């Protein structure tokens, strides 16, 4: 497509997200091969997830502010270099402790991926196209996760499990070369045409928010942001369970081997990619047909959350239908995720999108930590997967109710008004 530099930037950003999801699938898919050398119990497996997610949560929150300070180009470079080297280091592991440290370092790097990607998309796309672009970016999660099972199985067939991590790290390092050659914000890009500059007029017109008078943590004083953080906590509790435990569930309950996991575990992730693109496209299409941003986002979010309880049937279904149910849940989740990740750029200026996206992601990763530990304890103490699926089947519905209650209208937050009230409160006088 002529004059589509912004979509080339979207593909570049999507590739980074694909690599991140490939990297975080390395351990779950290779776990059986690793266990031949390093014994790992269910509780230890949940602790390994927690090591990744603790660092991921902290850096998701902090890296948003870092990216706002460094700028997207430098910030994303540092983040990708860090997580690629951390992923490669896992190939040297000889104990659960080593795996934990490596995963903690991997989480530190990957925690900055989505805030950086969200900010980059906000620098290149106006509101009418933003959820479509975010859908494409979020489909990168599916590309990486779809590629992981068969490629990891192939690697394990011809090499040992350590090469899974070495090759994944190398792919990330190659991306950094592409990034430095191609990426600049739209306002600074020398190849941006006059025609495309007109299409991005809304992006260039955005004014930076004056955030100096309010502390970073005080962003949570806004009910819209606090609601997003809470909703992400709930929905990502389910999502991280899916991505970390799906291969293990297939190993444990349906007695798959590594080749079978490689043959089938990619299917739900392919559905997740379709959900990512459809959710973003549908919301953008509603806006183009005259719906408000508020209505378009909430309608699409409601539909996405509405399909998630289908996972409640998984414990009573044959394995073929189990894959179908996981595919429906993955599609609904990633449609939901695309839209939730779009909301910060709908509500705040580009110079604070990274910070807000980071706080929202922190909530999501925290949900993953808490529920992952709960799942590990339940499974190692004699419970079946049934109670776990009962929980993850309703988390998105509750999260949607939280969004409806906390964000009455999706639109720009009036920072100036709230800053005035906050400053008055600090001064001890009424407004």
247 & 159 share domain: no
Residue 321 lies in a domain: yes
142 & 230 share domain: no
pLDDT of 335-359, one tens digit each?
A: 998 888 888 878 877 667 667 777 8
Helices 223-252 and 5-35, packing angle to 10 deg: 40
Q: Give the per-residue pLDDT at 262.
A: 65
24 & 82 share domain: yes
Cα 81 to Cα 351: distance, rounded to the nearest angstrom: 23
147 & 286 share domain: no
Cα 38 to Cα 89: distance, rounded to the nearest angstrom: 16
Q: Give the per-residue pLDDT at 431.
A: 41
Which of these, 328, 268, 269, lies nearest to 303 by C-alpha position? Answer: 328
11 & 129 share domain: yes
52 & 83 share domain: yes
The pTM score is: 0.68
Which of these, 166, 356, 350, 71, lies nearest to 79 by C-alpha position? Answer: 71
Residue 273 lies in a domain: yes
189 & 228 share domain: no
Instruction: Write a three-state SS string for the chain.
Output: CCCCHHHHHHHHHHHHHHHHHHHHHHHHHHHHHHHCCCCCCHHHHHHHHHHHHHHHHHHHHHHHHHHHHHCHHHHHHHHHHHHHHHHHHHHHCCCHHHHHHHHHHHHHHHCCHHHHHHHHHHHHCCHHHHHHHHHHHHHHHHHHHHHHHHHHHHHHHHCCHHHHHHHHHHHHHHHHHHHHHHCCCHHHCCCCCHHHHHHCHHHHHCCCCCCCCCCHHHHHHCHHHHHHHHHHHHHHHHHHHHHHHHHHHHHHCCCCCHHHHHHHCHHHHHHHHHHHHHHHHHHHHHHHCCCCHHHHHHHHHHHHHHCHHHHHHHHHCCHHHHHHHHHHHHHHHHHHHHHHHHHHHHHCCHHHHHHHHHHHHHHHHHHHHHHHHHHHHHHHCCCCCHHHHHHHCCHHHHHHHHHHHHCCCCCCCCHHHHHHHHHHHHHCCCC
233 & 176 share domain: no
Determine the structural domain holding residue 407 and report its residue range: 215-415
178 & 234 share domain: no
- Count the alpha carbons within 13 Å of 391 in the hemisphere toward its beta carbon: 21
238 & 158 share domain: no
Residue 426 lies in a domain: no
Residue 286 lies in a domain: yes
Which of these, 284, 298, 351, 322, lies nearest to 123 by C-alpha position? Answer: 351
Torsion (CA) 338, 339, 343, 346 in degrees, nearest 10: 100
221 & 191 share domain: no
Q: How far is CA 287 from the centre of its chain?
A: 24
Helices 5-35 and 72-89, packing angle to 10 deg: 20
158 & 221 share domain: no
In degrees, rounded to 5, the angle at the alpha carbon of residue 361 between the alpha carbons of residues 359 and 367 is: 110
Phi/psi of residue 255, nearest 5 degrees:
55, 40
CATH assignment at residue 105: 1.20.1250.20
Give the Cβ contact number of residue 355 at 10 Å.
26
Number of domains observed in the structure of the chain: 2
Residues of the chain short of pLDDT 50, as ranges, are 1-3, 210-213, 419-427, 429-431
Residue 206 lies in a domain: no
Q: Give the per-residue pLDDT at 311.
A: 86
Contact residues for 127 (Cβ-Cβ < 8 A; gap 6+):
202, 287, 293, 345, 346
Residue 425 lies in a domain: no
Phi/psi of residue 277, nearest 5 degrees:
-70, -45
324 close to 311: Cβ distance less than 8 angstroms: no
10 close to 133: Cβ distance less than 8 angstroms: yes
Residue 371 lies in a domain: yes
Q: Give the per-residue pLDDT at 303.
A: 94
Residue 151 lies in a domain: yes
CA distances to 47, 209, 252, 415 from 347, rounded to whole Å, are 35, 11, 43, 10
Of the residues 173, 199, 225, which one is the last residue of a structural domain?
199
Token readout for 239 is 């999502």
Which of these, 20, 397, 47, lies nearest to 235 by C-alpha position? Answer: 397
pLDDT of 42-51, one tens digit each?
A: 778 878 888 8
Cα 204 to Cα 197: distance, rounded to the nearest angstrom: 9
| R_g (Cα) of the chain, nearest Å | 21
Which of these, 223, 239, 216, lies nearest to 356 by C-alpha position? Answer: 216
């Amino acid at each position: 497509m002529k004059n589509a530099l912004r979509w080339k930037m979207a593909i570049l950003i999507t590739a980074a997200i694909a690599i991140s999801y490939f990297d975080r699938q390395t351990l779950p898919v290779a776990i059986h091969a690793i266990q031949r050398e390093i014994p790992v119990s269910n509780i230890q497996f949940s602790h390994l997830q927690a090591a990744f997610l603790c660092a991921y949560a902290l850096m998701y929150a902090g890296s948003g502010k870092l990216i706002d300070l460094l700028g997207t180009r430098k910030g994303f470079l540092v983040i990708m270099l860090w997580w690629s080297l951390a992923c490669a280091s896992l190939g040297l592991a000889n104990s659960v402790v080593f795996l934990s440290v490596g995963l903690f370092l991997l989480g530190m790097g990957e925690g900055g991926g989505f805030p950086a990607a969200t900010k980059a998309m906000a620098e290149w796309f106006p509101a009418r196209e933003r959820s479509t672009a975010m859908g494409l970016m979020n489909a990168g999660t599916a590309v990486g996760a779809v590629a992981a099972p068969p490629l990891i199985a192939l690697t394990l067939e011809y090499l040992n499990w350590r090469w899974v991590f070495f090759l994944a790290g190398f792919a990330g390092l190659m991306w950094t070369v592409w990034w430095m050659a191609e990426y600049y914000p739209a306002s600074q890009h020398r190849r941006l045409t006059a025609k495309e500059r007109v299409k991005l007029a809304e992006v260039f017109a955005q004014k930076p928010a004056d955030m100096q008078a309010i502390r970073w943590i005080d962003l949570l004083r806004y009910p819209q942001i606090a609601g997003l953080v809470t909703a992400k906590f709930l929905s990502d509790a389910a999502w991280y369970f899916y991505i970390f435990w799906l291969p293990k569930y297939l190993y444990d309950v349906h007695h798959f081997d590594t080749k079978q996991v490689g043959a089938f575990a990619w299917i739900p992730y392919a559905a997740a990619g379709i959900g990512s693109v459809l959710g973003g496209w549908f919301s953008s299409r509603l806006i183009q047909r005259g719906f408000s941003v508020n209505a378009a986002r909430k309608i699409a979010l409601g539909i996405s959350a509405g399909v998630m309880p289908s996972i409640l049937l998984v414990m009573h279904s044959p394995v073929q239908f189990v894959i179908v149910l996981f595919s429906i849940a993955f599609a609904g989740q990633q449609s939901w995720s695309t839209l939730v990740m779009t909301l910060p750029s709908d509500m705040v200026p580009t110079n604070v999108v990274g910070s807000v996206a980071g706080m929202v992601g922190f909530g999501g990763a925290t949900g993953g930590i808490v529920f992952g530990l709960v799942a590990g304890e339940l499974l190692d103490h004699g419970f079946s997967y049934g109670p776990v699926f009962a929980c993850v089947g309703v988390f998105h519905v509750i999260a949607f109710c939280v969004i409806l209650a906390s964000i009455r209208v999706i639109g720009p937050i009036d920072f100036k008004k709230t800053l005035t009230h906050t400053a008055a409160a600090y001064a001890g006088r009424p407004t």
